[in-house]
Structure 1
Amino acid sequence: MEGILKLLIILLFAVTVTGEPPAMYQAQPIKAAEGGDVTLQCRLDPPVSLSAFTVDWTRLDNKDIVHVYRHQQDDPDPQTDQYRGRTTLLHEDLIRGVLTLHISSVKLSDRGLYKGFVPKLKTSCVVDLIVETVGKDQQNETKRDYSSTTGPPEEEETEPDGRGGGNRNAGRAGIISSVFIILCLVIVVLLLKMHGTIQKCMKRLGGWKEQKPETVSNRSEGEMLNNRAADEDLEGSAGNGSSERTTAA
């Protein structure tokens, strides 16, 4: 029982001090019109500034290197030729823990699975880019239709003090962690109470077992004394009867 209680206390301390690593949202499939522009985006929760981290955007299907960010700047050297001059990583979004990648002049060969990866945090997300062919007459209309699906996800409403939705998510994560810690503390208290109750019951049971033989022996001695007294009474009665018969004779 003591080992279990120590383990629970260690787990509570670890959750309180270190917290949980940030997780990256899996983005929904993105549709883009051929020849248009598209935006791929992933978010960390809770938000962490990624300005000083290495960020990689790659293709999962053909291993193409789409965009690389190292040492707080873009690194075009490892980039696949297909994407040279067509990608832009928004550095200002990195401060908010958001990976935002713009791809211009989308081609049919651009369709596939894209992976945004932060190696140091060991977290990533995958975005499925769907490229559709449209006619010249429908090109302008299609671009307007895709403007809502190819652009970055909408920001959450800004708080009155200027904080964005990222802080709201962090607050929710903090509340969840606090509730988890409280539940664990309640469980520990209940286990302690149960442990004390079990010990009291064991002590009472042990005392009852120790007293039971004494009670039985006391009863046996009492019965022997009663039997002896009854025998003496019979003997006395018999002696009195004999004396009375002798006197009568």
Structure 2
Amino acid sequence: MEGILLKIILLFAVTVTGEPPAMYQAQPIKAAEGDDVTLQCRLDPPVNLSAFTVDWTRLDNKDIVHVYRHQQDDPDPQTDQYRGRTTLLHEDLIRGVLTLHISSVKLSDRGLYKGFVPKLKTSCVVDLIVETVGKDQQNETKRDDSSTTGSPEEEETEPDGRGGGNKIAGRAGIISSVILCVVVVVLLLRKNGTIRKLQHFISMVFQGLTQQTQNNRSRQLETREEKFKFFSRGSGCFDESDIVTVSS
């Protein structure tokens, strides 16, 4: 019942005004410069528009954006600014939908667009807003460039600090390399059994040095004992027991 009442109201509107109702774009379409956009409006009730002429034009400068007639696109009346950049979806026309794609929008593309079906005397208006891109990014790029150009000055004003850091890093690298080489050599010697021979050789050398030191001490004691005996015989200050006590 509600559907029949709605159709009666729509027929009454067409009869009185000569224009069937159309659905206008509720919100403006926002796009960045270089983006692809889609302009769309729907007829209510839906009407198969595949056999109708469809025009997309600009309301502000009267440019012809896209023309569809005799069931095909007609590029002849199209403004040069939009040649090769617009596409009308024919399959949507069957459902009463006007869908227009515009590729790579420019700042000059912003404005009000009108989709118009002359035979039905119905139209819709879409507001396209094209925003510029890159201002903030350009400012950030300039700031980055200035900071990049400023870094060499910092290197000139603080050469000593950075040079000291490089020296410390170089020394640390040399020490690490030496330690690594020592570790590698020890591992190789251990693997080949040479490290054991080296240890045995060092032990023998150490024992020989120890024995020589003991012999030197014994000789020194013998020399002292002989000296004591000599002085005791000559002066009589010491007896045999004193000599033994001193030598011990």
TM-score band, normalised by the shorter chain?
0.3 to 0.5
Relative to the length of structure 1, the TM-score reads 0.47
TM-score (norm 2): 0.48
Max Rg structure: 2
